[in-house]
Structure 1
Amino acid sequence: MIHPTAVISAHAAIDPTAEIGPWCVIDGPVQIGPRTVLMNGVAVYGDVRIGADNHIGAHTAIGGRPQGRLTKTSPRGSKLVTAIRFLSTSPSIAARCGATAAPVSAMTIW
């Protein structure tokens, strides 16, 4: 069920069993899986995939600017990738981890 006050992009793919609450904004090629619930005021932007059986709390914002990925080189020279995705990338957190922030173009929530 999609609430009548929700604003949904023509590019979005929403499973018929998903519930989209009042005043939600879904902008871009967003995919929302079965039985997922978006409470009131949720905003989802960009290339975001939300899988089955998720519950997104009220006034949550997902997507938007590119998310952050922290990478760090191990002592043996291989690259370690920590899939930490911030709603906004924090250079200070990246610096404390000895890593650099690199853009990620899409986000998946399972």
Structure 2
Amino acid sequence: MPVHPTAIIDSNAQVHESCEVGPYCVIGAGVVIGKDSRVGPHTVIEGPTTIGESNRISNHCSIGAPPQDLGYKGEPTKLVIGDRNFIGDYVQLSRGSNKTEHKTTTIGDDNFLMAYCHVGHDCEIGNRVIAANAVQLAGHVTVEDRVVFGGLVAIHQFARVGKLAMISGGSVTSLDVPPFTKAFGYGCAVHGLNAVGLERAGIDRAAIKRLREAYKVLFRSGTPLEQVLARLETEFSDSAEAQHWVKFFRESKRGVVRDRDAK
């Protein structure tokens, strides 16, 4: 195992023999790291934290730190990270808090978190999420698959970001951002479909066209929300994406960002 002689690895940590651990790293008790992963210099990983295979963790990261929550009293909580993630310099990933049943922060597979990103306690991050520099996710944030964040985006605690959404750099939101949309601004407003993201995800043009039709009904009809959702259920039952909108809106607890031109 190529471990630098200045690295400190607790005897109760489990680091696969194929992993690289750089200079001055500290890996604590209860940490598990899968094969072919790399941990850059000066990174600190605290347990209980489980990290999957083929992850690339850069320099000076704080992984599995205790939750930044005034109510936390040292209870055992967890951070679980999947496979093939890139974690940039100075990224901070917190463990879960004592406020949820599972007490776990979860990060999926194939995510790309650039320098200075923060993922707060109890967040749930899906797969193939891209977060540019200094994206800040407060506690209990949920991010579905294939979301793209521009730099310096800030997401309020308990907010959700839907599948294949794209949020422009510098945006701030305290509300949920709906799937398949583009959003930006302080306070955040939706600015149409994320058509490029949909195409890159393999959604065919017919499905995207159908979703555009549903978008006009959902965001620009001027009809009360529950009536709109009922209409989407019946008129767009053939669109999996439109049905995902229905589910996302109905499950919202904070409210959902609306279109800038909504009636």
TM-score by length of 1: 0.66
The residue identity in structure 2 corresponding to 1:23 is Y
Q: Which residue in 2 is equivalent to 1:39?
A: 40
Instruction: Provide the identity percentage.
Output: 31
Q: Is 2:84 aligned against 1:21?
A: no
Q: In the TM superposition, what is the alpha-carbon distance from 1:10 to its structure 2 partner? A: 1.1
Aligned partners of 1:46, 1:26: CA distance in 2, in Å?
A: 8
What amino acid is aligned across from residue 47 of structure 1 in structure 2?
P
Alignment of 1:2-81 (within 5 A): 2-66=3-67, 67=95
The whole-number CA distance in structure 2 between the counterparts of 1:68 and 1:12 is 19
Aligned equivalents of 1:88 and 1:41: distance in 2? 21
Deviations 1:41-65 (A, max 9, x none): 1110011111111110111111121
* Counterparts of 1:47 and 1:68, CA distance in 2: 10
Q: Which amino acid aligns with 2:40?
A: M
* Aligned residue pair count: 85
Please list the CA deviations of residues 5-44 of structure 1 after superposition, one character each: whole Å capped at 9, or x if unmatched: 0011111001100000000000121011111000111110
Q: Give the whole-Å Cα distance in 2 for the aligned partners of 1:16 and 1:88.
A: 30
Q: Secondary structure at the match of 1:11?
A: coil
**1:93 is the counterpart of 2:94:** no
1:4 aligns to what SS in structure 2? Answer: coil
Seen in structure 2, the aligned counterparts of structure 1 residues 5 and 12 have a Cα distance that, compared at 3 Å, is same
Secondary structure at the residue paired with 1:94? Answer: coil
Residue 28 of structure 1 aligns to a residue in which SS? coil
C-alpha distance in 1 between matches for 2:29 and 2:9 = 9
In structure 2, C-alpha distance between the alignment counterparts of 1:60 and 1:15, rounded to whole Å: 19
Per the alignment, in what secondary structure is the counterpart of residue 45 of structure 2? Answer: strand
Structure possessing the higher radius of gyration over alpha carbons: 2
Structure 2 CA distance, aligned partners of 1:25 and 1:12? 11
Structure 2 CA distance for partners of 1:31 and 1:68, relative to 1, 3 Å? closer
Q: 1:52 to 1:59 in 2, by over 3 A?
A: same
Q: Quick one: which amino acid aligns to residue 53 of structure 1? A: S
| Equivalent in the alignment of 2:112 | none
Q: In structure 2, what is the Cα distance between the partners aligned to 1:8 and 1:68?
A: 22
User: Higher relative CO (CA 8 A, sep ≥ 6), structure 1 or 2?
Assistant: 1
- Residue 63 of structure 1 aligns to a residue whose secondary structure is strand
CA change 1:27–1:68 in 2 (3 A) is closer
Aligned-residue offset at 1:2:
0.9
TM-score (norm 2): 0.29
SS in 1 for 2:157: helix
Amino acid at match of 1:33: G
CA distance in 1, matches of 2:53, 2:5: 22
The one-letter code of the counterpart of 2:156 is I
